[in-house]
Structure 1
């Protein structure tokens, strides 16, 4: 399903209609995300970002597993009684977390899990199977401005020494990413104070996440353009000169 970008920009809810029924996907506002916390928000987004490639990547038979399973089906797979295959990845009962995520984005508590049939019914009419889940997850990805989780796969046929080196490099990259992580409070601060005109925080509070992300990209994009043009127009500028971006002084951090 292609999401209407005009509706996204203007903060409208998105309706998904199937033969069995329809459901409304709400756009979260910044105020909601602030109140629930960025970590909790990321947790309800994750079920719609995870892929079989991320789950099985690096395994010897990854191609066969990726071909055999759909990500939706894996929420119903148990490795032993009461323990789901995806529980470790989601940090808890993965099917419960999926239910919580559906309840949040679809704004309903009327969710029935059909474990044996591996299907979910929302509001007694909207049936989610593996195909419909793929449709739903793409809609939610557009709403939250995120894409499928990507995990770097280790090269195949590495020696033990090569694998040790690769693992050390991955740990170093992870530390670097954590140090340079950009949090929602940083993005809000940049958007409010970094543009040509101040955007009041209460205005940002009332934006949908999509609207806010658009505002943030606009502020950063215009600034990058102005900076790039100033480099081109300056006869004295030398590449070796170090110029710190204004975002360095505005970054709040965690």
Structure 2
């Protein structure tokens, strides 16, 4: 991933020979399609086989048997696929096609079901390896990570499992309450820094640029608050405070 191009909003190269580039989502596009619609486009590139098989008795066996890419082509019955339920009953291949069309900026997408291949623009053959490369790029331009699943401890008693399930429900409720949505990122970025950034400027940002701006503002703010405590005679802060440049560093 070329982080300079990522920061400056340029397209990211997937395959130079076939002139395939991954577009960076623009904030105005995400706003127009809705955050839920955008998240659906991203989902094919963040979902994991661990999340798909979580909770099943033979989940470890299934995870070792099926690569995430293969699951898009795994049929339960004719025209019904394993991942359809993950996408709210929609066709998993249909969602993947919409996602590929959006990020690769082409409507020329064809699935070779039995070969487990995807043909893009009639000449680029995508398999498992190419999907994983695209997956990494999409996660980068959308500032996302792979879906995380919290697994219960092994060998729990029934009572312990019931307690664990109740704790999970509480954690999910807290996570929903604490969730930061796109409108929050925009508002924090607009008003939270030392200077006002208009919503029209944010509208022209890429999704990564907004995420980076938000992270930078919060990082500088945390540094200033921490230094305020550190320099105050009334407070005893023993932990070292990271300089704000560490929070803003993008790296290679």
Write the distance in 2 (CA, Å) between the matches of 1:206 and 1:123: 29
**Corresponding residue for 2:195?**
197
- Which of 210, 216, 232 does residue 208 from structure 2 map onto? 210
Summarize deviations over 1:87-130 as a string: whole Å, max 9, x none. Answer: 11111211111111111111111100111111111111221111
**Corresponding residue for 2:62?**
65
**Secondary structure, aligned partner of 2:86:** helix
Shift, 1:221, TM fit: 0.5
Is 1:23 aligned to residue 20 of structure 2? yes
- Which of 35, 38, 55 does residue 35 from structure 2 map onto? 38
Write the distance in 1 (CA, Å) between the matches of 2:131 and 2:9: 23
Query: Mind listing any 5+ residue stretches in structure 2 that lack a counterpart?
Result: 238-252
Write the distance in 2 (CA, Å) between the matches of 1:156 and 1:119: 37
**Secondary structure, aligned partner of 2:56:** coil
Shift, 1:22, TM fit: 3.9
Taking structure 2 as the reference length, the TM-score comes to: 0.89
**Corresponding residue for 1:109?**
107
Q: Is the 8 A contact 2:185 2:210 kept in 1?
A: no
**Corresponding residue for 2:76?**
79
Query: Mind listing any 5+ residue stretches in structure 1 that lack a counterpart?
Result: 240-254
Shift, 1:172, TM fit: 1.0
**Secondary structure, aligned partner of 1:86:** helix
Shift, 1:63, TM fit: 2.6
Summarize deviations over 1:109-168 as a string: whole Å, max 9, x none. Answer: 110011111111111122111111111100111111111000101122222222211111
Write the distance in 2 (CA, Å) between the matches of 1:160 and 1:18: 55
Count of matched residue pairs: 236
- Which of 126, 138, 141 does residue 140 from structure 1 map onto? 138
Q: Is the 8 A contact 1:22 1:126 kept in 2?
A: no
Taking structure 1 as the reference length, the TM-score comes to: 0.89
